[in-house]
């Protein structure tokens, strides 16, 4: 039976973290693999569609499905972690991620969609577990470590966006190799993560049940902010190259612009959480990075192509900061690692399900209008809603959830 309102910090047996540098290295390598399966598809989407005979709506579904799976599979993460421990789950799911990436290049359309589903679900599970690990083992450096993790995540996305087309061209225009290559870093991350399954982390394991999250308004504001800002990010991952190709760029050029914009996310992903945790609350930083994100999106959609690289910088600075802030809020709004893990599951499970509607809406508007101009309305609606949710989530409060130990 659960005990009444027992404090996890007072009842757990605290143990020192052994070789923290090895955990940091593992976190960075795992984070590098949480976006290539998503960002590698967009620059190759036209080639994949032509090769497999995909319609515009089917291609749009292909960009939406992995994001939807991020949300649908996220609730499995805390259940698996309670059964097998977070470190073992991360290791196993990394191997499943590698298998999903490989499957996308096999068995035609069925393999493409099933592999995308497996990859998206794997990323959703790992993404939920990492903020809880950061809260548990680096509680005093939560902002800095979240920035490091987010920076690695952005770097992985940028490498995949910029390299997938050149890789496919090098191997006789084989989009299959361009997509399948990204199983290699996933397997490498699994090798370096393996030692984490053999050592104790922060507190010895005890089972906890967290209640009250879904009744808490602040938890819903954090969730909506995560989901709505992610919706804009996955529109970029899924559609920005197609938008730029529609404006006159080649596939390789469009992929490089997206890759460059994601690379620019690195400094803001690292610095914005650090700066935001030193202010009275996080509302002003949220407003600033959301404004940059929307300005960059509208610039790339409507402004002359001569200023394209400048708008890519603006977009990257905004989106790197806003995503890192969304992850930081999960940690800051939680009183302990158990609540953080469950808030992470809620924010990413429900949030990514909401986020999947953004790429779908862009594809739908494009099919209805035959062009890209009208998708600016999608940007505006999502951006305003994300800013409103962020103003609530950025207040210096804690979610009113209770973690109780299960005997």
Q: Which residue has the higher pLDDT, 29 or 145?
A: 29
Residues paired with 405 in a beta bridge: 208
Band (pLDDT 50/70/90 cuts) for residue 10 is very low
Question: How many CA within 13 A on the CB side of residue 267?
Answer: 8
Alpha helices in 138-250 (DSSP H): 142-170, 175-180, 183-193, 217-246
Q: What is the pLDDT of residues 182-192, one digit of tens each?
A: 999 999 999 98
Q: 18 in a domain, yes or no?
A: yes
Which pLDDT score is estimated for 2? 35
What number is the average pLDDT over the span 314-332?
89
Let me know: does 88 contact 395? Beta carbons within 8 Å.
no
For 274-297, how does the pLDDT look when each residue is reduced to its tens digit (9 = 90+)?
A: 787 777 888 999 999 999 999 999
In a domain, 282, yes or no: yes
Please give the pLDDT value at position 200.
Answer: 59
Is residue 108 a part of any domain in this protein? yes
Mean pLDDT, all residues of the chain: 82
pLDDT band at 403 (very low <50, low <70, confident <90, very high): low
**Residue 254: Cβ-neighbour burial (10 angstroms; 0-12, 13-18, 19+):** buried
Tokens of 125: 């599970």
Length of the chain: 407
Inform me whether the pLDDT recorded for 354 exceeds 70.
Answer: yes
Evaluate whether residue 208 is within a structural domain.
Answer: yes
d(CA 194, CA 172): 36
pLDDT at position 4 over 80: no
Check residue 167 and give its pLDDT: 85
Model pLDDT for residues 205-221, shown as the tens digit of each residue: 556 666 677 888 999 99
pLDDT band for position 341 (50/70/90)?
confident
More confident residue, 405 or 62: 62
Is 3 a domain residue? no
Domain that holds residue 340: 8-405
Residues 242-260 have a mean pLDDT of: 86
* β-sheet bridge partners, residue 402: 211
Give the pLDDT mean for 197-211: 60
- Region 351-375: mean pLDDT is 86
pTM of the model: 0.76
Q: How far is CA 35 from CA 40, 132, 185, 235, 266, in A?
A: 8, 19, 12, 13, 14
Instruction: Specify if 2 maps to a domain.
Output: no
Residue 226: which of 139, 354, 72, 104 has the closest Cα? 354
The secondary structure of residue 197, as a DSSP letter, is: G
Position 137 scores a pLDDT of 72
* CATH number of the domain encompassing residue 362: 1.20.1250.20
Instruction: State the average pLDDT over residues 7-14.
Output: 41
Measured CA to CA, the distance from residue 236 to residue 2 in angstroms comes to 44
What's the CA gap between 380 and 228, in Å, rounded? Answer: 11
Spatial separation of the C-alpha atoms in residues 217 and 219, rounded to whole Å? 5
Average pLDDT over residues 369-376: 89
Q: What was the pLDDT predicted at 9?
A: 43
Task: For residues 62 and 60, give the distance between their C-alpha atoms in angstroms, rounded to a whole number.
Answer: 5
At 228, the pLDDT band (50, 70, 90 cuts) reads very high
Q: Is residue 121 part of a domain?
A: yes
Listed in sequence order, the residues at least 6 apart from 312 whose beta carbon sits closer than 8 Å to its beta carbon are 257, 258, 260, 261, 264, 296, 300
Instruction: Find which of 52-61, 193-202, 240-249 is predicted with most confidence, using mean pLDDT.
Output: 240-249
- The total number of structural domains that make up the chain: 1
| Predicted pLDDT of residue 11 | 41
End-to-end Cα spacing for the chain? 6
pLDDT of residue 204: 45
């Amino acid at each position: 039976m659960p005990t009444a309102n027992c404090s996890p910090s007072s009842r757990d047996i605290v143990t020192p973290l052994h070789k923290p540098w090895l955990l940091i290295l593992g976190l960075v390598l795992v984070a590098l693999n949480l976006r290539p399966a998503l960002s590698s598809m967009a620059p190759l989407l036209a080639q994949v569609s032509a090769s497999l005979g995909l319609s515009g709506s089917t291609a749009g579904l292909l960009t939406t499905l992995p994001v939807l799976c991020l949300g649908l599979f996220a609730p499995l993460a805390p259940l698996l972690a309670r059964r097998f421990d977070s470190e073992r789950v991360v290791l196993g799911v990394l191997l499943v991620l590698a298998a999903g990436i490989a499957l996308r290049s096999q068995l035609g359309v069925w393999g493409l969609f099933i592999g995308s589903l497996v990859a998206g679900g794997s990323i959703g599970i790992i993404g939920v577990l990492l903020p809880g690990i950061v809260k548990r083992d680096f509680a005093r450096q939560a902002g800095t470590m979240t920035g490091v993790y987010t920076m690695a995540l952005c770097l992985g996305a940028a490498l995949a966006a910029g390299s997938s087309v050149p890789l496919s061209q090098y191997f006789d225009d084989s989009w299959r190799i361009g997509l399948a290559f990204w199983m290699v870093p996933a397997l490498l991350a699994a090798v370096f993560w393996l030692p984490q399954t053999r050592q104790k982390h922060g507190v010895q394991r005890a089972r906890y049940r967290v209640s009250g999250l879904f009744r808490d308004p602040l938890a819903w504001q954090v969730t909506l902010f995560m989901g709505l800002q992610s919706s804009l990010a996955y529109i970029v991952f899924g559609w920005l190259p197609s938008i730029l190709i529609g404006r006159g760029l080649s596939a390789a050029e469009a992929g490089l612009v997206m890759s460059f914009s994601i690379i620019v996310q690195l400094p803001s992903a690292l610095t914005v959480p650090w700066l935001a945790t030193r202010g009275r609350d996080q509302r002003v930083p949220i407003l600033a990075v959301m404004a940059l994100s929307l300005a960059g999106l509208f610039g790339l959609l409507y402004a002359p192509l001569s200023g394209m690289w400048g708008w890519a910088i603006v977009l990257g600075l905004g989106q790197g900061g806003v995503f890192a802030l969304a992850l930081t809020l999960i940690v800051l709004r939680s009183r302990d690692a158990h609540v953080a893990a469950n808030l992470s599951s809620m924010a990413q499970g429900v949030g990514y399900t909401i986020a999947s509607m953004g790429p779908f809406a862009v594809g739908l508007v494009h099919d209805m209008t035959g062009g890209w101009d009208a998708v600016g309305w999608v940007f505006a609606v999502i951006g305003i809603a994300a800013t409103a949710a962020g103003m609530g989530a950025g207040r210096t409060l804690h979610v009113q959830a209770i973690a109780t130990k299960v005997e």
